[in-house]
Amino acid sequence: MITAPAMTFREWTGPLTADLVLEPAKFGLGQVPSHLVPDATAKAICGFCSTGCGLKIHLKDGEAINLTPDPDYPVNFGSACPKGWEALSVLDAPDRATMPLLHGKPVDWDTALRFFCDNMRRILDQHGPGAAAFLSTGQIMFEEMALLGALAKFGMGMLHGDGNTRQCMATAVAAYKESFGFDAPPFTYADFEESDVLVFIGANPCIAHPIMWQRVLRNKRSPEIIVIDPRTTETSMAATRHYAIKPKSDLALLYGLAHLIIRDGGLDPAFIEAHTNGFEEFAAFAAGFAPERVSAETGISIERLIFLSKTIISGKPRVSFWWTMGINQGHQATRTAQAIINLALMTGNIGKPGTGANSITGQCNAMGSRLFSNTTNLLGGHDFRDAMHREKIAHATGIPVERIPGQPSLAYDQIIQAADEGTVKAIWFVATNPSHSWVDQNEMNRILDKLDFLVVQDMYCSTETAKRAHLVLPAAGWGEKEGCFINSERRIGHSPKVRRAPGQALADFHIFRLIAQYWGCGELLREWSSPEAIFRILQRCSENQPCDITGIHGYEMVRQSGGVQWPLTADQASTFQASSWKERRLFEDGRFFTSDQRAKFVFEAPEAPPEQCSAEYPFILMTGRGTSAQWHTETRTGKSAILEKMTPAELMLDLHPADAVTLGVRDGGKVRVVTKRGELTTKVRLTSCVKPGEVYLPMHDPRVNQLTHASFDPHSRQPSYKHSAVRIESTH
């Protein structure tokens, strides 16, 4: 039975997502304009979140006229969230970039490309390969990401490139690599349905992944659903238990649970013995996390801690752990993600239906970026520093090995720091809007304004970053170009071109090809001639890696089979049956990707977050998603009239009523939110969904990151967006 999650949220005053999921017609969605009748249907994958829903695009004379969710796609079975339903309408917006803009003035492509190449070449020639960088995205097709990475690094000779996935998935990548030996999220969405206990930690899928939440609602095992989140969220209201943890105390909680599981006999000794390393040391370390200490550090009572560990122990027998940005964005994020992995390993909850230590990805192609963006890793999850890997990739791509750099790029924050120091002089942003979304925004914008050359390649010319750019390259968006995405469960899906891009906007793929031509490295990338040709090159790059996809017979197989989860080796392909291979998880044989095939227990002592409350800044500000109708910096979702109706009219700070009394603030009143870095004025919503001393702002307002404190996990270099000290002042 499907129930409506948002409706259980009594204090929720916004639009009801669930209404739209269940009754789209009420909102005028999915209806064919009366003067048009579709003559064909194309199958696509949604280009917003990492759920990767299948959409049917209805065509008239080869052009899209509307869409409906695909009932046959093994991800969403006919449902879509508001963003998916509105994916076509956001393409028609008056601020679409239709011409290249040079210093804000329209120019033709020839002028733009010459200007791009002249400036990049001058900077690289004068200052060396580290002087220019690209920053890409989890939101274009992975064939395009790979072409960008190959063009910039192998063709143009740039050393540094990273992406917005640093803001998002870097922690999960670092955690999995060290614990499992490869960046390998093990789950499949069927695990939502096959679990007895689902533990969501720092994740709010009712808002951020609504169709994954629909999969949870299909679970027929009467599961215990546990949400660990400092706030009372839509997801926690729909769960069976909510643990309103003190912000950023997850590490203590997770070690405390390990302590209790060991104490109360909840281990799976056979699994630990056969498939892991380092448990003895971890057990000795966890002995220091007795419930008294953990209760004091997390704000959760000893009774509730014991209940939680008992629930995991008696998981009847399947327990799955799911995490997102509440974990990935933190000052000790990698160790926290690994503390979740440790719980799954010690209880043997991995590689079986309904189990796993499962990081949910964010953007439609975050997973594609992790494997194929050629930024942190060499194409296909390889290591730039490894000479054998460079040889292999040279062979697979036809690029001479001496053009492949022997060192990885700087991380995003290090590139920005280098720009501040003046060693990076040019940055090329593709499909990301960091003047809004990067942490400590005033500082970021100050540094961006110092650059000799700032290029933005985007669908819209009005983004905060595009407004600061010397050169804007107009890009086609989802639906206006073809290629593949990889969703959270490692499923590769294909998305076709179903309409023309406006004006002179071009697919990122074509922009990269043109730049290669103008730069003079077109011949080097000769084989990278179409998205599908690049797909074949990337298949070769994946050979013998955990993400081996050499068994896929081109786009046709991806389209016909409802997507293909990686890996699919040539051997596996001989037995591939689309019907019986709809859901696959990793580690069913207990063999991991480390050199001895054992998973590793990794741990470290918890430390206090770098920015603490003080008398001057007494509140903790958390940030994250607002509603299911809003996407990040709202360049796309802000353009739909329907989504606009589902979005609060203005920014609202969630504040506890007890704090409002002390501050003398009314519900709906205005306050100033002040940090050491900046301030903004906002309306207040009084709600006990936040605890006293804690406040929340959605990230979609362009001012919010003026407040956020820039601290970074040392292993993943992912920013911590969810812990800043603020002061609240009444404005009257």
Q: Please report, as ranges, the residues that interact with ligand MGD according to CB under 6 A.
A: 49, 137, 139-140, 164, 167-168, 201-204, 207-209, 228-231, 233, 245, 247-248, 250, 324-326, 362-363, 430-434, 437, 457-460, 463, 475, 477-478, 508, 622-625, 628, 630-633, 635-636, 699, 704-705, 708, 721-722
Token pair 């360049």: residue: 635
Angle at 74 between CA 70 and CA 75, to 5 degrees: 80
Instruction: Look at residues 82, 87, 83, 81 and name the one whose alpha carbon lies nearest to residue 44.
Output: 87
Beta bridge partners of 101: 106, 472
Tell me the torsion sign for CA atoms 73, 78, 82, 85: positive
Regarding 80 and contact with ligand SF4 (CB under 6 A), the answer is yes
H or E element in which residue 50 lies:
none
From Mo ion, ligand MGD, ligand SF4, none, interface partner of 51 (C-beta below 5 to 8 A by class): ligand SF4
Number of residues that bind ligand SF4 (CB under 6 A): 14
Instruction: Look at residues 360, 171, 340 and name the one whose alpha carbon lies nearest to residue 254.
Output: 340
From ligand MGD, ligand SF4, Mo ion, none, interface partner of 459 (C-beta below 5 to 8 A by class): ligand MGD
H or E element in which residue 494 lies:
strand 491-495
- Interface stretch with Mo ion, choices 44-52, 142-150, 166-174, 471-479 (CB under 5 A): 166-174
Residue of 18, 42, 44, 46 that binds ligand SF4 (CB under 6 A)? 46
- Interface stretch with ligand SF4, choices 158-166, 209-217, 279-287, 668-676 (CB under 6 A): 209-217
Tell me the torsion sign for CA atoms 33, 39, 45, 47: negative
From Mo ion, ligand SF4, ligand MGD, none, interface partner of 539 (C-beta below 5 to 8 A by class): none
Q: Which is nearer to ligand SF4, 51 or 320 (CB)?
A: 51
Q: Shortest approach of ligand SF4 to residue 212 CB, angstroms?
A: 7
From Mo ion, ligand SF4, ligand MGD, none, interface partner of 252 (C-beta below 5 to 8 A by class): none
From ligand MGD, Mo ion, ligand SF4, none, interface partner of 211 (C-beta below 5 to 8 A by class): ligand SF4
Burial class, 267, CB count within 10 angstroms (exposed 0-12 / middle 13-18 / buried 19+): middle
Q: Shortest approach of ligand MGD to residue 250 CB, angstroms?
A: 5
Provide the 3-class DSSP secondary structure of residue 403.
helix
User: What DSSP character marks residue 671?
Assistant: E
Residue of 140, 169, 184, 211 that binds ligand SF4 (CB under 6 A)? 211
Instruction: Look at residues 508, 202, 429 and name the one whose alpha carbon lies nearest to residue 328.
Output: 202
Regarding 172 and contact with Mo ion (CB under 5 A), the answer is no
Measured in degrees and rounded to the nearest 5, phi and psi for residue 125 equal -65, -45
Q: Which is nearer to ligand SF4, 82 or 351 (CB)?
A: 82
Residue of 123, 148, 168, 172 that binds Mo ion (CB under 5 A)? 168
Q: Which is nearer to Mo ion, 84 or 362 (CB)?
A: 362
Residue of 69, 74, 356, 362 that binds Mo ion (CB under 5 A)? 362
Q: Shortest approach of ligand SF4 to residue 225 CB, angstroms?
A: 19
Number of residues that bind Mo ion (CB under 5 A): 2
Regarding 223 and contact with Mo ion (CB under 5 A), the answer is no
User: What DSSP character marks residue 239?
Assistant: S
Q: Shortest approach of ligand SF4 to residue 83 CB, angstroms?
A: 4
From ligand MGD, ligand SF4, Mo ion, none, interface partner of 84 (C-beta below 5 to 8 A by class): ligand SF4
Regarding 186 and contact with ligand SF4 (CB under 6 A), the answer is no
Between CA 75 and CA 73 the distance in angstroms is: 6
Pairing of the two strands 453-458 and 471-474: parallel
Is the distance from CB of 526 to CB of 541 less than 8 angstroms?
no
Q: Shortest approach of ligand MGD to residue 507 CB, angstroms?
A: 8
Q: Shortest approach of ligand SF4 to residue 186 CB, angstroms?
A: 21
Regarding 83 and contact with ligand SF4 (CB under 6 A), the answer is yes
Q: Which is nearer to ligand MGD, 137 or 565 (CB)?
A: 137
Q: Which is nearer to ligand MGD, 255 or 460 (CB)?
A: 460
Q: Hey, what amino acid is at 394?
A: A
Segment 470-489, which members bind ligand SF4 (CB under 6 A)? none
Regarding 434 and contact with Mo ion (CB under 5 A), the answer is no
The Cβ-side half-sphere exposure at 59, using a 13 Å CA radius, reads 16
Pairing of the two strands 564-565 and 619-624: unpaired
Between CA 678 and CA 572 the distance in angstroms is: 55
What are 432's two structure tokens?
């990301």
Q: Which is nearer to ligand SF4, 52 or 606 (CB)?
A: 52
Residues in the chain: 732
Between CA 153 and CA 219 the distance in angstroms is: 46
Regarding 205 and contact with ligand SF4 (CB under 6 A), the answer is no
Regarding 48 and contact with ligand SF4 (CB under 6 A), the answer is yes
Q: Shortest approach of ligand MGD to residue 356 CB, angstroms?
A: 17
Residues 6+ apart with CB under 8 A from 568: 548, 549, 550, 551, 552, 576
Regarding 81 and contact with ligand SF4 (CB under 6 A), the answer is yes
Q: Shortest approach of ligand SF4 to residue 74 CB, angstroms?
A: 13
Q: Shortest approach of Mo ion to residue 362 CB, angstroms?
A: 3
What are 666's two structure tokens?
């009314």
Between CA 435 and CA 71 the distance in angstroms is: 38
Q: Shortest approach of ligand MGD to residue 247 CB, angstroms?
A: 4
Between CA 576 and CA 97 the distance in angstroms is: 43
DSSP code string of 292-311: HHHHHHH---HHHHHHHHHH
Q: Shortest approach of ligand MGD to residue 611 CB, angstroms?
A: 13
Instruction: Give the Cβ contact number of residue 670 at 10 Å.
Output: 15
Q: Which is nearer to ligand SF4, 54 or 546 (CB)?
A: 54
Residue of 52, 330, 368, 562 that binds ligand SF4 (CB under 6 A)? 52
Q: Shortest approach of ligand MGD to residue 532 CB, angstroms?
A: 18
Residues 6+ apart with CB under 8 A from 23: none
Angle at 67 between CA 487 and CA 34, to 5 degrees: 175
Regarding 380 and contact with ligand SF4 (CB under 6 A), the answer is no
Instruction: Give the Cβ contact number of residue 34 at 10 Å.
Output: 6
From ligand MGD, Mo ion, ligand SF4, none, interface partner of 53 (C-beta below 5 to 8 A by class): ligand SF4
Regarding 431 and contact with Mo ion (CB under 5 A), the answer is no
Between CA 284 and CA 279 the distance in angstroms is: 9
From ligand MGD, ligand SF4, Mo ion, none, interface partner of 630 (C-beta below 5 to 8 A by class): ligand MGD
Q: Shortest approach of ligand SF4 to residue 3 CB, angstroms?
A: 17
Between CA 564 and CA 154 the distance in angstroms is: 29
User: What DSSP character marks residue 666?
Assistant: -
Instruction: Outline where 181-264 has alpha helix (H).
Output: 190-194, 205-208, 210-217, 234-238, 250-263
Rg (CA), the chain: 25
Q: Shortest approach of ligand MGD to residue 646 CB, angstroms?
A: 10
From Mo ion, ligand SF4, ligand MGD, none, interface partner of 245 (C-beta below 5 to 8 A by class): ligand MGD
From ligand MGD, Mo ion, ligand SF4, none, interface partner of 228 (C-beta below 5 to 8 A by class): ligand MGD
Q: Which is nearer to ligand SF4, 211 or 262 (CB)?
A: 211
Q: Using CB under 6 A, list all residues that contact ligand SF4.
A: 46, 48-49, 51-53, 76, 80-81, 83-84, 209-211
Q: Using CB under 5 A, list all residues that contact Mo ion.
A: 168, 362
